[in-house]
A = this chain, B = another copy of it.
Amino acid sequence: MAGRSAAPGRSVTSRVLSLLDVFDSTSPRLSLSEISERSGTPLTTTHRLLAELADWGALVRRADGRYEIGRKLWDLGLLAPVQMELRQIAAPFMLDLHTTIRDTVHLAVREELSALYVERISGRESVPIVSQVGSRLPLHATGVGKVLLAAAPADVVDRALHSLTRQTPRTVVEPGRLQRELADVRRRGYARTSEEMSPGAASVAVPVQVERGGGTVVVAALGVVVPPHRRDLARLAPVLEVTARGIGRELARTREFR
């Protein structure tokens, strides 16, 4: 009987994380061997660790032969101050906005080179929407992304300009053109896209700003997704701006939201 040795890999923690990491929104349920393969963990070890995670507090759950993220992780996740205050403050404003314009409303923050969607309100959809709460989309192909990128430090913009992936035929992948667009966004105060991320969807987005120190800081972006041929695209921006200002004002009251 072998048992090669103790942890030749890394710490137990990192190992457990690599197991959990294989779950994503396209495959929320996986079998033991799938998890083992994807995470590169030996089958036996995977088995033992998952059993531990399942028994000891429902971090994962067995459901008819497959594993899924458990309720405990859901609970814990909800406690993450990740934008918790931001979301709680923004939600009522977004609700009002949605009632007015009837389209899908998003709130996103920048995380590295992605727009991280932290809140979304959508009724019955007229437009195909790819984003979900928790999903990340590239900064250069979405309305909220462009707003966030326009406000990002120079080094982030640089890196983003070097990784422009084509999402649809209409995605802007020319660094020069994107830079000009970002300048426009800064000047006008809002961003627009049309079928740059997914066909059949256009968007308008504005920054959510908070006064801090001397100047204002962009802490999030607020956007709407609409059918691409709507005439009133430009009219949406002022409405969004009012809402964004409301959120910003409310955020300024909280001690800290980052």
Interface pair A92/B124, CB less than 8 Å apart: yes
Interface pair A82/B76, CB less than 8 Å apart: no
Among residues 3 to 29 in chain A, which have CB atoms less than 8 Å away from a CB atom of chain B? 10-14, 16-17, 20-21, 23-25, 28-29
Copies in the complex: 2
Stretch at the interface among A49-57, A180-188, A193-201: A49-57
CA distance A57 to B98 in the complex (A): 35
Q: Scan A73-101; emit 1 where CB is below 8 A from any B CB, else 0.
A: 11111111110100000011001101100
- Expressed in whole angstroms, the minimum distance between the Cβ of A101 and any Cβ of chain B is 13
**CB within 8 Å for A29 and B98 given contacts A13-B53, A14-B57, A73-B73:** no
Among B56, B69, B98, contact of A81 (Cβ-Cβ < 8 Å)? B69
Is A122 part of the binding interface, using a Cβ–Cβ cutoff of 8 Å? yes
Chain B residues contacting A24 (CB-CB under 8 Å) are 79
Interface pair B13/A71, CB less than 8 Å apart: no
- Expressed in whole angstroms, the minimum distance between the Cβ of A168 and any Cβ of chain B is 25
- Expressed in whole angstroms, the minimum distance between the Cβ of A136 and any Cβ of chain B is 9
Interface pair B69/A74, CB less than 8 Å apart: no
Beyond the given A21-B57, A28-B81, A99-B99, please list 19 additional residue pairs across the A-B interface where CB-CB is below 8 A: A11-B56, A13-B49, A13-B53, A13-B56, A17-B72, A20-B76, A23-B79, A25-B79, A28-B80, A28-B84, A70-B80, A70-B82, A71-B82, A71-B111, A77-B77, A79-B134, A92-B122, A92-B123, A95-B123
| Interfacial residues, chain A to chain B (CB-CB below 8 A) | 10-14, 16-17, 20-21, 23-25, 28-29, 49, 52-53, 56-57, 59, 63, 68-82, 84, 91-92, 95-96, 98-99, 111, 121-124, 132-134
Q: List 5 A-B contacts (CB under 8 A).
A: A17-B59, A23-B79, A63-B81, A69-B81, A73-B76
